[in-house]
Amino acid sequence: MLSEAGARDVSRGLVSVDPRGLEVAADWESVRSPESYLGYAKAESFVSERGAARDEAHVYAAPARLRLNDWALSGDWTVSEGFAASNRADGRIACRFHARDLNLVLAPPAPGAPVRFRVLLDGQPPGAGHGTDLDEQGNGRVVEPRTYQLIRQRKPIVDRRFEAVFLDPGVQAFVFTFG
């Protein structure tokens, strides 16, 4: 307890918890998409043409249609063992998923070098389905290495196509998680 640690004027009553963003429990009944790693060491269901070119810059193209749990890169990327890094502006990541929440672990290329991005859900801005790290138009910024909540859709939960367009180069993308 805080009072045992020396804190003064601490209420001993019960407090209500109001979780937000990533703190909200996953909706496990709606999750049909597993974690998906973007580095080649653990990547599954990567469907960009000709697969990953390991540890070298490569221009990728995503297929027009993705099956559930498939993901793809478009644009100039370097896929390393643990993550994929965009080499130029307009790099894209797309996936088809089934879950209330879509999160993506991202990092900027260096401290103090934010990366702007835009998210589309089924080809449109996410509107009310945006996560805590976006506005309704789907605009966000990668400012530090962490998990970014990008989509929080309302029921009914259905298969959706997610796409992130990185407006600046250098973003590092590690893993999709769903909740």
pLDDT tens figures, 99-137 = 999 999 999 999 999 999 999 999 999 999 999 999 999
Asked, for residue 3, whether it belongs to a domain, the answer is: no
Statement: residue 33 has pLDDT above 50? yes
Residue 1's pLDDT is 46
Statement: residue 17 has pLDDT above 50? no
Statement: residue 139 has pLDDT above 50? yes
Q: Return the bridge partners of 146, or none.
A: 106
Residue 79's pLDDT is 98
Asked, for residue 1, whether it belongs to a domain, the answer is: no
Position 30 confidence tier, pLDDT thresholds 50, 70, 90: confident
Rounded CA gap, 143 and 131, in Å? 16
Asked, for residue 21, whether it belongs to a domain, the answer is: no
Q: What CA–CA distances, in Å, run from 120 to 6, 29, 52, 135?
A: 49, 24, 24, 11
Query: Taking residues 7-18, what's their average pLDDT?
Result: 54
Residue 172's pLDDT is 98
Asked, for residue 141, whether it belongs to a domain, the answer is: yes
Statement: residue 67 has pLDDT above 50? yes
Largest CA distance in the chain: 63
How much is the pTM?
0.85
Residue 7's pLDDT is 53
Asked, for residue 149, whether it belongs to a domain, the answer is: yes
Domain with 98 in it: what CATH number? 2.60.120.260
Q: Return the bridge partners of 139, or none.
A: 118
Rounded CA gap, 108 and 114, in Å? 6
- Expressed as residue numbers, the domain containing 164 is 32-178
Rounded CA gap, 121 and 131, in Å? 11
Asked, for residue 49, whether it belongs to a domain, the answer is: yes
Q: How many domains does the chain have?
A: 1
Contact between residue 142 and residue 109 where contact means Cβ atoms under 8 Å apart: no
Which of 166, 107, 117, 106 is closest to 141 using CA atoms?
A: 117
Residue 35 token pair: 């974690």
State pLDDT tens for residues 152-167: 998 899 999 999 999 9
